[in-house]
Amino acid sequence: MPAELQELKDQLLRTDETFRQLVTEHHDLDERIRHLSNQAFLSAPEQIEEISLKKRKLRLKDQIEEALRRHRGPVDNIAHVQSH
């Protein structure tokens, strides 16, 4: 991740509660998926849970990326105007 994008993410984690909740939930889902993946055998309900969690995690990733694009847009526009 480019340093500029990481800085924006860090800033949003400090200042935007909704963004922070998205990132926290994404991390929590990642941990649960990792736990399920480490098991030698998954029951049918666990397999369904794993699939469901992976889909939810992808939706969260999309929401996180959309939030970053929304907040980055004006900064990119300002930088572009200032460089010309």
Confidence of residue 72 (pLDDT cuts 50, 70, 90): confident
* Token pair in block for residue 46: 């666990």
* Token pair in block for residue 53: 């969690």
- Kindly provide the residue ranges of all beta strands, DSSP E only, lying in the chain, ordered along the sequence: none
pLDDT tens digits along 20-47: 999 999 999 999 999 999 999 999 999 9
Cα distance from N-terminal residue to C-terminal residue, the chain: 26
Mapping DSSP to helix (H, G, I), strand (E, B) and coil, where does residue 84 land? Answer: coil
Report whether 50 contacts 30 (CB < 8 A). Answer: no
- At residue 82, the pLDDT reads 40
* Token pair in block for residue 38: 């480490």
Instruction: Report pTM.
Output: 0.79
